[in-house]
Amino acid sequence: MFCHLRPMRRLCLEKIFPHWFPYSRALSGAEAVNALRPFYFAVHPDFFGQHPIEREVNENSLKRLSVYLENLQKPGFKSLKPTQLTFYVRETDQSSSDGQEPFSTSGFRAVKFTLHTRDLLSTVLYILNSCSLSVEHIQSLNTNVHTQPLKEAKRMPDRPIKWDKSYYSFTGFKDPDEDLEQVSRMETTLTSWLDNNGKSAVKKLKNSLPLRKELDRLKHELSHQLQLSDIRWQRSWGIAHRCSQLHSLGRLAQQNLETLKKAKGCTIIFTDRSGMSAVGHVMLGTMDVHHHWTKLFERLPSYFDLQRRLMLLEDQISYLLGGIQVVYIEELQPVLTLEEYYSLLDVFYNRLLKNRIPFHPRSLRGLQMILNSDRYAPSLHELGHFNIPALCDPANLQWFILTKAQQARENMKRKEELKVIENELIEASTKKFSLEKLYKEPSISSMQMVDCCKRLLEQSLPYLHGMHLCVSHFYSVMQDGDLCIPWNWKNGEAIK
């Protein structure tokens, strides 16, 4: 129920913010991390190893939350766009389901909320209240309850805080490290895990085969009918769920075929929200109705025009920076819409125009950069591309790129060599174990995949015959029979 009337609004605010809130001081970045520890403990992806979909949702939401919290701490920020987040919250000693969705039989529930706060303290309180977690421990952080001027917040440290064991004994909070150690001790070896789960995976895979054929048929027919480049899914939805989404798109095609044909040559991605992605893919929000999808297809010509302007903007930035290529890497960057990415590029381009950097024309050809809104200083990624903050100082940027250019070229060369080795090992592993399919999660690097496949090839694993094997960060049998194994799987003594 919305709080429209003033008395009701006051009651709602009192429910969210405790009585001491008006007299509290601003939180620092470190204090915000401390205050949110019960929340991080309840949603940490490592505790969702047997639930890959929920794990992925929490991983993506934590990334977006991290960006939101860092932006709150940037000096001179004006206002942040409302950010909608979804978390699967584990049942802990602090959590209750009062006024929330009940816990599932698996011990967690889905919580959705929208952040539109202006400071760290109100953000922390809103998150904890939304997840039905206690906020009493926050008052101890505000030892001075007299009003003070808001202090400029410091940047949240990149390295997580390691608390002494006495902290948990005194506060009564659970120690996440202790729980993670317990999870680690319970981990088993690859061979024993396959012995225990191989038969159930085979059964699930066999049951899913008719649906897999149906999915391939629907995907082929729709791609041909709408002349699409590809149809993909952003999340690890099951086969039945994917078939349902394609059936829904097929019904819309029957009703508005000419409108949907505006997507000719495009890739369609089923995801959380509708729009066009930063790389030009048509995003269909799975929670949206046909009306929203139709409106999106009708607006595609204007999106294509914006895409052309975006590509021109990338070329102009490249020209000003000595020919370095501006790229957007889906696996490494937050999911942005075309409008959001254009706005980010435009801000960066205007800063470059005001502060011309004297790069020699085409001196940086062959190098790549990605643009970020959630970083403070430029950096060089191990894959060879530069991570450039949109608001970085142009003079520092010039010095950094010139001093790191040779290292960037070497990293890119190693990346290409590693990719060749990775593909060869995937092919060899697929052949040796007669796998139907061998693939990896986007978060798995080529280095991790190479290490995993090399060790796999040294094993004898009959349970893998004819299976779908996914290299991930955890063990799991997916609902359709795909086997997920961690890239650093253990065989014998655990790897420390």
Helix (H, G, I), strand (E, B), or coil: what is residue 101? coil
Structure tokens at 87: 């978390």
pLDDT surpasses 50 at 149: no
pLDDT digit string, tens, across residues 338-372: 999 999 999 999 988 888 777 888 889 999 999 98
| Residues sharing a CB contact under 8 Å with residue 66, sequence separation 6 or more, in sequence order | 156, 374
- Please, which pLDDT band fits residue 396 given cuts at 50, 70 and 90? confident
Band of pLDDT at residue 16, cut at 50, 70 and 90: very low
Indicate the pLDDT class of residue 117, thresholds 50, 70 and 90. confident
Mean pLDDT of 472-495: 80
Q: Using the predicted structure, report yes or no on whether residue 231 has a pLDDT greater than 60.
A: yes
pLDDT band at 91 (very low <50, low <70, confident <90, very high): confident
444 conformational bin, left if phi > 0, alpha if psi -120 to 50, beta if neither: beta
The mean per-residue pLDDT over the stretch 225-250 comes to 91
Q: 270: Cβ–Cβ under 8 A, 6 or more apart, which residues?
A: 231, 232, 233, 234, 237, 242, 245, 284, 286
Q: What is the mean pLDDT of the chain?
A: 81
Q: Which of 178-187, 403-412, 452-461 has the lowest mean pLDDT?
A: 178-187
User: What pLDDT does 319 receive?
Assistant: 92
Contact between 470 and 452 (Cβ < 8 Å): no
For the record, the structure tokens of 253 come out as 């095609």
The answer to which of 96-105, 320-329, 471-480 has the lowest mean pLDDT is 96-105
Q: Are strands 108-115 and 83-90 parallel, antiparallel or unpaired?
A: antiparallel
Structure-token pair, residue 136? 């009493």
The pLDDT confidence band at residue 165, using thresholds 50, 70 and 90, is low
Beta pairing class for 476-477 and 468-472: unpaired
Better pLDDT: 491 or 214? 214
Mean pLDDT for the stretch of residues 212-238: 93
C-alpha 490/C-alpha 190 separation (Å) is 6
- Give the model's pLDDT for residue 71: 79
The answer to whether 431 touches 465, Cβ cutoff 8 Å, is no
pTM recorded for the entire structure = 0.63
pLDDT band at 175 (very low <50, low <70, confident <90, very high): low
Give 183 or 362, the one with higher predicted confidence.
362
User: Which amino acid, one-letter code, is at 39?
Assistant: F
In angstroms, the CA 425 to CA 433 distance is 12
Three-state SS annotation for 381-446: CCCCCEEEECCCCHHHHHHHHHHHHHHHHHHHHHHHHHHHHHHHHHHHHHHHCCCCEEEECCCCCH
Provide the pLDDT for residue 268: 97
Q: Is 115 left (phi over 0), alpha (psi -120 to 50) or beta?
A: beta
